[in-house]
Amino acid sequence: MAASTGTGRQMVMKIFKWLHELKPVLLMVLAQFSFAGVNVFYKLATYDGMSLRVIVAYRFIFATVFLTPLALIFERKNRPKLTWTILFQAFLCGFFGGSLSQNFYFESLVLTSATFATAMANLIPAITFILAASFRLEKMGISTLAGKAKVVGTLMGIGGAMLLTFYKGREIHIWSTHINLMKLVTPHGGHVTASDGTRVLGCIFAMGNCISFSLWLIIQAKMSQKFPCPYSSTALMSFMAALQSVVYAFCFEKDWNQWKLGWNIRLYTAAYAGIIVHGMMITLMIWCVRIKGPLFTTIFYPLMLVFTAFFGSLLLDENLHLGSIIGSTFIVCGLYAVLWGKDAEIKKISQLIPLKSSRENETSKNDNAKNLSSGEEEKIEAREV
């Protein structure tokens, strides 16, 4: 009886340990599910006639209101002093990673489809690699297998993006639900009829989003060295992005009706994008980065493409095409090739660091031994004298 009880406890402990190890995976799947869901809200809000610029402004306003109390509560004691350098870096992060990239992304989303815009966003690691190599922040390393994987992955991603843009192919009918949430929203001129011209323009905006977001990743890495507070950093970035987005929106949107939020799809979109996506999900991703590292979180990005394609065809009556499937496959394969190359380089560096430290310890020990022996020789000579 006691043996069976002990075995039962061990099984329960193993299950709890397995669930604890599975927690980062489940959180990342939830985050990508939420990111895909926001595309549906964006489509519905723009179809309702809500301005793209106003959506971006409200997103960062809601995010700032949500994140500021978290930063004040959790990072009150260990927050470094704000300097002009950090504020300038936060301004750049808010511009490239917030207002500019989001406006580009919205334009591409409206001009193409949710699946297309999400697929193009998977180019961000490859473009980040190109920019980092151009700024000499990262070595190409073409002679190594990891360097070749990063270059090949980048080329595959660019090729997939070109397929997405210029090759449509026949329609792929997975299912027919006849569900279209856009029919529940009264159109106010926010919908753009898709054509070859709008598809190319949408691709240009999507590439602008990728380049802008990649620049933010590089600047954010520099900022995190001097200001290692994720809640405060995100709140500061959201505040800067909110200021920039509001000023930008006011320059173009003179109609005050665009800024009115009622109990409708506009309020739901702004609240979901600001609180759920930019607030809660970004916080969960920061936790996953701390536990598993940044490479772990990046691996789950293609899941957003799968969820978005599922939501688009199921809820928005968007048609999948052969070109979209082939191009997305190339982009995802290129993404994993770049990630594999980066992971191989990190492992190689981590293996070299212990060797270097051990060599330094040996040299220091030898130096100490030489100093001791020379000191003893001096003492002997002094005694003889």
The one-digit pLDDT tens for each residue of the chain (385 residues) are 555 566 767 777 777 677 677 788 788 888 888 888 888 888 788 878 888 889 889 999 999 999 899 888 888 888 888 889 989 999 998 999 889 988 998 888 878 777 778 778 777 777 777 787 777 766 666 778 877 887 888 788 778 877 776 777 777 766 555 555 555 555 555 444 455 567 788 888 988 988 898 888 788 778 877 887 878 888 898 999 999 999 999 888 878 888 888 888 888 988 998 989 888 887 777 677 667 666 566 677 777 877 877 777 777 666 777 877 888 888 788 878 877 887 777 777 666 655 455 555 555 555 555 554 555 555 444 444 4
pLDDT (0 to 100) of residue 385? 43
Predicted pLDDT at 88: 93
Q: Which residues are CB-neighbours of 58 under 8 A, at least 6 positions away?
A: 261, 270, 273, 274
Taking each helix axis as running N to C, give the angle between helix 101-111 and helix 196-226, from 0 to 180 degrees, rounded to the nearest 10: 160
Amino acid residing at 186:
T
Between CA 291 and CA 27, with CA 74 as vertex, the angle to 5 degrees is: 35
- Specify the length of the chain in residues: 385
What pLDDT does 370 receive? Answer: 54
Contact assessment for residue 126 and residue 157, using Cβ atoms and an 8 Å cutoff: yes
CA distance 212 to 63: 20
> Do 54 and 258 touch, CB atoms closer than 8 A?
yes
List, in sequence order, every beta strand (DSSP E) within 157-240: 171-172
Q: What is the pTM of this model?
A: 0.73
Question: Do 310 and 174 touch, CB atoms closer than 8 A?
Answer: no
Let me know: does 167 contact 323? Beta carbons within 8 Å: yes
58: nearest Cα among 260, 358, 336: 260
What pLDDT score was predicted for residue 318?
A: 67
Distance from the Cα of residue 225 to its chain's centroid: 19
DSSP conformational letter for 256 = G
User: To which residue do tokens 């060599």 refer?
Assistant: 359
* pLDDT score at 3: 56
CA pair distance 217, 207, nearest whole angstrom: 15
Sign of the CA dihedral running 83, 289, 42, 61: negative
Every domain of the chain and the residues it spans: 26-182+193-335
